[in-house]
Amino acid sequence: MNVPASVLVVGASAAGLATAEALRRQGYQGALRVLGAEPHLPYDRPPLSKQVLAGAWDPGRALLRPQAALAALDAEFLLGDAATGLDAGTRTVHTASGRALRADAVVVATGLRARPLPGQDALSGVHTLRTLDDALALRADLLAASRCVVVGEGVLGAEIAATARGMGLDVTMAGPQPAPLAGHLGPVVAGQLAGLHAEHGVRLRLGTAVGGLAGHGGRVTGVRLETGEVLPADVVVVAMGAAPATGWLTGSGLRLDGGLVCDSRCRAAEGVYAAGDVARWHHDTAGGLIRLENRTNAIEQAGLVAANILGADQPYRPIPYFWTDQFDARIHVYGTPSADAEVTVVEGDPAGRRFVALYRRDGRTTAVLGWNMPKQARLRRAEIGDIAGLAPAR
Amino acid sequence: MKITIDQDRCVASGQCVTAAMDVFDQRDEDGVVVLLDPSPPAGLAADVRQAAAVCPALAIHVEE
């Protein structure tokens, strides 16, 4: 395979920037362009729900690279211009401003879009959090509020609840699961998380689906549960997950099914690749399509895509990993935890707020979780078997 | 090559240790990065660049 003369990366966040950087690090000398929908220089998203929302960092600290490092990449950044279409045959990307950008290789790294609650656009005081502008708008609203309801009990919802509580607000977390992250991490760890949030004064109204929003005069006044009860709020944060940002690829002929579907090389079509949250690729030891929404995957997958653009022809077989910080808990998870796994504490003590737990299914270890024990959890990563078809640790 | 780390930014992912275990370690108590060798030999340069690239907290700075 010939090395392409030009590469266009669509998406200027972690995965997009990492692809461009990995190409240069791996010796690519061709023309490189990075297209970003947002006007900002590439910035990092994990701090948005934590340090940026809390005001501990000014937004500049969330930039992925200083401007000098971006300049040294010798890439053209086209920011503030969203992709609107792709002609996969000629690898031409059309943009909102009317550009038609052709390249020998195109990398789709457009990430996710937050899922709104029906009707939220009609009310002020209702937020989702995906972008830097979202985080700053939410922060401004929280500073003027006293009661916040977070709709969503996943990682993002739990982090936002913790941050808002740390800002001194009266915070309620609502969602259908019985405890934060219960569907993801199972009852033992989720129960521990529920205890952590309750201890810090977050009201947990979990286990009941959210029916909608209540408002008055164009402003939100609360969240209506399916039981009819209304949780009063000055500000509501909707953190019910996100969907891959593939709308612009409709009509491209590429397969869109819970993400941009790719082969084991993260290739969606000849000369078209995907990296990061948007990519749903064939994990060939897992034996199926998977998509990961986490920060380290964005970088790791970008590195693999860069190598494959340059002719490596390698499959992508990562062990999933994510971390989350909530109050004083720093939680690290390797592998594929599930609610039905048997969870055993193998180091430390949950009562002491420091422990490592193994997730086992059918006698095999499927995940390792560290609660304030990051190093100890990482050292057990190699114990993860191939039950989920995951490649051994590198 | 000269390496600096920002322990305040570190999220204790340990990705750097996986990439370059002769250069980086983690504190036992909280997993925060420890720099074992701020000026590693040239043979480790590629691993160190990889470590800086995969750090999800942007906590590793490499001066060539």
Closest Cα of chain B to A124: distance in Å?
Answer: 33
**Same domain, yes or no, for A263 and A171?**
no
CB of B15 less than 8 A from some CB of A: yes
For chain B (64 residues), the mean pLDDT of every run of 10, in chain order, is 96 97 98 98 96 96 92
CB interface of B with A, residues 23-52, below 8 Å? 26-28, 30-31, 49
In this prediction, residue A390 has a pLDDT band, given cuts at 50, 70 and 90, of very low
DSSP summary character for residue A89: T
The minimal CB distance from A375 to the residues B26, B53, B54 is found for B26
CB atoms within 10 A of CB A201: 11
Closest Cα of chain B to A120: distance in Å?
Answer: 32
Q: What is the identity of the amino acid at A272?
A: V
Long-range pairs of A135-142 with CB within 8 A, sequence gap ≥ 24: A135/A48, A135/A49, A135/A52, A135/A53, A136/A52, A136/A59, A138/A53, A138/A235, A138/A237, A139/A52, A139/A53, A139/A55, A141/A234, A141/A235, A142/A53, A142/A167, A142/A169, A142/A235
The minimal CB distance from B31 to the residues A22, A375, A394 is found for A375
**Same domain, yes or no, for A123 and A236?**
yes
Phi-psi region of A338 (alpha: psi -120 to 50; beta: other; left: phi over 0): beta
In this prediction, residue A394 has a pLDDT band, given cuts at 50, 70 and 90, of very low
Domains of chain A: total = 3
Closest Cα of chain B to A292: distance in Å?
Answer: 15
Residue where a domain stops, chosen among A212, A240, A268: A240
Closest Cα in chain B to A299: B54
Closest Cα of chain A to B41: distance in Å?
Answer: 19
Cα A59 from Cα A44, distance rounded (Å): 10
Domains of chain B: total = 1
Query: Within a domain: residue A174?
Result: yes
**Same domain, yes or no, for A157 and A207?**
yes
Residue pLDDT, tens place only, A63-97: 999 999 999 999 999 999 999 999 999 999 999 99
- Which letter, b or e, does each residue of A250-264 get, where b requires 16 or more Cβ atoms within 10 Å of its Cβ? eebebebeebbbbeb
CB contact under 8 A, A374 and B53: no
**Same domain, yes or no, for A29 and A106?**
yes
CB contact under 8 A, A299 and B31: no
Looking at residue A286, what is its pLDDT? 84
Residue pLDDT, tens place only, A23-75: 999 999 999 999 999 999 999 999 999 999 999 999 999 999 999 999 999 99
Integer Rg of chain A from CA: 21
Query: How far separated are the first and last CA of chain B, in Å rounded?
Result: 4
Looking at residue A387, what is its pLDDT? 43
**Same domain, yes or no, for A26 and A101?**
yes
Residue pLDDT, tens place only, A277-305: 999 999 988 889 999 999 999 999 999 99
CB contact under 8 A, B13 and A323: yes
Looking at residue A330, what is its pLDDT? 97
CB of A206 less than 8 A from some CB of B: no
CB contact under 8 A, B31 and A373: yes
Query: Within a domain: residue A91?
Result: yes
Helix runs in A105-231, H state only: 132-143, 155-166, 182-199
Using CA atoms of A256, A260, A265, A269 in order, give the dihedral in degrees to the nearest 10: 60
Looking at residue A363, what is its pLDDT? 87
Range of the domain at A204: 116-240
Query: Within a domain: residue A375?
Result: yes
Residues of chain A by 3-state class (helix, strand, coil), percent to 5: 25, 35, 40
Range of the domain at B12: 2-63
CATH code of A377's domain = 3.30.390.30
CB of B64 less than 8 A from some CB of A: no
CB interface of A with B, residues 330-369, below 8 Å? 330, 332
Q: Residue B15: its chain A contacts at CB < 8 A?
A: 296
Query: Within a domain: residue A318?
Result: no
CB contact under 8 A, B56 and A375: no
Q: Is 80 exceeded by the pLDDT of residue A365?
A: yes
Q: Is 90 exceeded by the pLDDT of residue A260?
A: yes
**Same domain, yes or no, for A90 and A155?**
no
Residue pLDDT, tens place only, A325-346: 999 999 999 999 999 999 999 9
The minimal CB distance from A296 to the residues B12, B13, B26 is found for B13
- pTM of this structure: 0.96
In this prediction, residue A389 has a pLDDT band, given cuts at 50, 70 and 90, of very low
Looking at residue A25, what is its pLDDT? 95
Closest Cα of chain B to A373: distance in Å?
Answer: 6
Residue percentage of chain A with pLDDT more than 90: 95
Closest Cα in chain B to A22: B53
Q: Is 70 exceeded by the pLDDT of residue A1?
A: no
**Same domain, yes or no, for A204 and A230?**
yes
CB contact under 8 A, A46 and B27: no
Phi-psi region of A223 (alpha: psi -120 to 50; beta: other; left: phi over 0): beta
Residue pLDDT, tens place only, A154-206: 999 999 999 999 999 999 999 999 999 999 999 999 999 999 999 999 999 99
Q: Residue B17: its chain A contacts at CB < 8 A?
A: 378
Nearest to A45 by CA among A128, A168, A147: A128
Return the SS3 of A221.
Answer: strand
Nearest to A73 by CA among B56, B58, B53: B53
Residue pLDDT, tens place only, A109-128: 999 999 999 989 999 999 99
Q: Is 50 exceeded by the pLDDT of residue A355?
A: yes
- ipTM of the assembly? 0.96
Looking at residue A388, what is its pLDDT? 52
In this prediction, residue A313 has a pLDDT band, given cuts at 50, 70 and 90, of very high
For residues A353-374, give the mean pLDDT: 96
Angle at A62 between CA A166 and CA A168, to 5 degrees: 10
Identify whether the C-beta of residue A25 lies closer than 8 Å to the C-beta of residue B54. Answer: no
Looking at residue A386, what is its pLDDT? 61
**Same domain, yes or no, for A130 and A231?**
yes
Cα A365 from Cα A307, distance rounded (Å): 31
**Same domain, yes or no, for A150 and A230?**
yes
Looking at residue A124, what is its pLDDT? 97
CATH code of A134's domain = 3.50.50.60
Closest Cα in chain A to B45: A25
Beta partners for A349?
A: A354
Residue where a domain stops, chosen among A181, A206, A240: A240
CB interface of A with B, residues 43-82, below 8 Å? 44, 46, 64-65
CB of A178 less than 8 A from some CB of B: no
Backbone angles phi, psi at A307, to 5 degrees: -60, -40
Closest Cα in chain B to A322: B13
Closest Cα in chain A to B62: A69
Query: Within a domain: residue A165?
Result: yes
**Same domain, yes or no, for A127 and A218?**
yes
CB contact under 8 A, B30 and A299: no
Nearest to A272 by CA among A252, A298, A248: A252
Cα A59 from Cα A45, distance rounded (Å): 11
Beta partners for A230?
A: A224
Q: Is 50 exceeded by the pLDDT of residue A221?
A: yes
